[in-house]
Amino acid sequence: MAISTSDEAGELSTRAQNAQGQDFQELAKRHLWMHFTRMGAYDDHDIPIIVRGEGCYVYDDKGKRYLDGLSGLFCVNAGHGRKEMAEVAAEQIQQLGFYTNWSYAHPRSIEAAAKIAELAPGDLNRVFFTSGGGESVESAWKMAKAYHQMTGNARRTKLIARDLAYHGTFHGALAATGITALRTEFEPLAPGGLHVPNTNDYHKPIGHDPLLAADAIEEMIEFEGPDTVAAVILEPVQNAGGCFVPPDGYFQRVREICDRHGILLISDEVICSWGRLGHYFGHERFDYSPDIVTTAKGITSGYAPLGAVIATDAVAAPFMEGNRAFNHGITFGGHPLATAIALKNIEIFEREDLCGHVRAKEGEFADMLEGLRDLPIVGDVRGAGYFHAVELVKDKESRESFNEQECDVLLRGFLSNALFEKGLICRADDRGDPVIQLSPPLIADGEQFEEINGILRSVLTEAWEKVVRF
């Protein structure tokens, strides 16, 4: 592939083409089916084509630089353009391009499983590899069901998740996902997905009991019948809806409830692990002990597709006995290339102390975003680590939000484009109330925070004057 876009000095030239001289825009519009994308929106607009990445920045096909404030969808935690990732990939492919983990093992999946078990707290010692986050969630639910069946509780099949939470798009993972608009077209989903309130308290009355959301889990368990519930699945900080941080004591209460009813606690850390919250695992931040952890994305910093389900010794034990097995598998789960890259990623994390860097700098990052509260459109700022959301409101006093149509005009009609035009990639999202989400690479520092601040301030000011007041 030859990309004839920018020269070393960054000058713009003609549109990007492949080696055969075909225009990428034309090829993409004709053949590429983009995920969660209104393809029709590109009838009269260029598709953004990202061709290169370096550190906290990516470059498009016209040579323009963007600050990747989303780490390529919460993935590129160690930053873009790490040459040693390319080197380890080349070495691995030369040695063993592919072998599966069905009945066989290979050195990199063994080493990666051992390293992950070493980093995971407590007795989270058994690692089942997948190719991504949705597969991890799907696998964790099946693991919970099979565990209960093996331990004499075959009726325990249901999974409790939270309103608005995103856990993936497969029929099982989607049954855990609590976003109506993503589910409706695909019903019926896997049976047994139940939903309880999340920990968003911005629109709750002042003085409400912050642990009501935890107690709602117990109410759901009692309503359904405790002996029918397999597991509860929760993110340490809930992404969809805009970085809902749990109130103090929330996870401790949930743990007590799960223990009281013999239910497994799954911590969905597809986003919240690998340094995103300043620790290898998100549950370390909030000091609770899950039975199962699901992870993906930052496990390779996005350099290769990989996910994992990490189970405690107690959950894994019944599967290890006699002629039993976890009758579940994915051809590419724990691919040699992906696990080699995961090991290199962890080596980089340890060498550069990326978790420590996030803990040292997250205050500065949060302060910068808090500074935007003087803008009339900024209602709330929340999050943890390098994972924050800014909630947009029509009225700061009453906390009135925008309706669906207004959100469409504000987010899709203006903000997404304006932020991108000014060189910042972040997420303008209205799966709940409208928010802008930021999760930069973990190497980001003061210079990037300043840049984010400048762009957000000018675009949000313009949004208020041109879009909201208008």
Which range touches ligand PLP (CB under 6 A), out of 145-153, 165-173, 353-361, 370-378?
Answer: 165-173
CB nearer to ligand PLP: pick between 132 and 434: 132
CB nearer to ligand PLP: pick between 218 and 235: 235
Residue numbers 252-271 binding ligand PLP by CB under 6 A: 268, 270-271
- Sole binder of ligand PLP in the list 63, 69, 72, 168 (CB under 6 A): 168
Minimum distance from residue 159 beta carbon to ligand PLP (Å): 13
Structure tokens at 166: 């995103």
String of contacts with ligand PLP for each residue 196-215, x by CB under 6 A: --------------------
> Interface with ligand PLP includes 133 (CB under 6 A)?
yes
3-state secondary structure of 427: strand
String of contacts with ligand PLP for each residue 229-248, x by CB under 6 A: ------x---x---------
What does the chain come to in residues? 470
CB nearer to ligand PLP: pick between 163 and 268: 268
Minimum distance from residue 239 beta carbon to ligand PLP (Å): 5
Look at residues 348, 329, 467, 316 and name the one whose alpha carbon lies nearest to residue 82.
348
Which range touches ligand PLP (CB under 6 A), out of 166-174, 211-219, 369-377, 452-460?
Answer: 166-174
User: By CB under 6 A, how many residues form the interface with ligand PLP?
Assistant: 13
Structure tokens at 33: 């089916």
Please report the sign of the dihedral spanned by the C-alpha atoms of residue 231, residue 232, residue 236, residue 240.
positive
For residue 23, the cross-strand partners are: 17
Q: Which amino acid is it at 91?
A: E
> Interface with ligand PLP includes 137 (CB under 6 A)?
yes
CA distance 279 to 270: 13
Nearest 5°: phi and psi at 40?
A: -60, -25
3-state secondary structure of 438: strand
How far is the CA of 134 from the CAs of 25, 189, 267, 271, 295, in angstroms? 30, 14, 13, 12, 9
CB nearer to ligand PLP: pick between 134 and 178: 134
Minimum distance from residue 3 beta carbon to ligand PLP (Å): 27
Residue nearest to ligand PLP (CB): 133
Going by C-beta distance under 8 Å and a sequence separation of 6 or more, which residues neighbour residue 372?
378, 381, 390, 453, 456, 457, 460
Alpha helix positions (H), 52-187: 71-74, 83-95, 107-119, 133-150, 171-176, 180-183
Minimum distance from residue 115 beta carbon to ligand PLP (Å): 21
Nearest 5°: phi and psi at 132?
A: 180, -175
CA distance 150 to 319: 8
CB nearer to ligand PLP: pick between 36 and 470: 36
Which range touches ligand PLP (CB under 6 A), out of 38-46, 164-172, 339-347, 399-407?
Answer: 164-172
Minimum distance from residue 194 beta carbon to ligand PLP (Å): 17
Q: Which amino acid is it at 109?
A: S
> Interface with ligand PLP includes 385 (CB under 6 A)?
no
Going by C-beta distance under 8 Å and a sequence separation of 6 or more, which residues neighbour residue 330?
130, 131, 135, 139
CB nearer to ligand PLP: pick between 235 and 391: 235
CB nearer to ligand PLP: pick between 139 and 239: 239
Minimum distance from residue 268 beta carbon to ligand PLP (Å): 4
CA distance 229 to 264: 9
> Interface with ligand PLP includes 440 (CB under 6 A)?
no
Do 114 and 122 form a contact (C-beta atoms < 8 A)?
no
Which range touches ligand PLP (CB under 6 A), out of 37-45, 131-139, 253-261, 323-331?
Answer: 131-139
CB nearer to ligand PLP: pick between 61 and 138: 138
- Sole binder of ligand PLP in the list 167, 253, 285, 431 (CB under 6 A): 167
> Interface with ligand PLP includes 298 (CB under 6 A)?
no
Q: If you search the block for the tokens 């989400």, which residue do you land on?
A: 437
Q: Which amino acid is it at 295?
A: T
CB nearer to ligand PLP: pick between 6 and 239: 239
The DSSP secondary structure of 167-219, one letter per residue, reads --SSHHHHHH---HHHHGGG-S--TTEEEE--S--TTSPTT--TTHHHHHHHH
Which range touches ligand PLP (CB under 6 A), out of 5-13, 79-87, 130-138, 366-374?
Answer: 130-138
CA distance 191 to 158: 8
Residue ranges binding ligand PLP (CB under 6 A): 132-134, 137, 166-168, 235, 239, 268, 270-271, 296
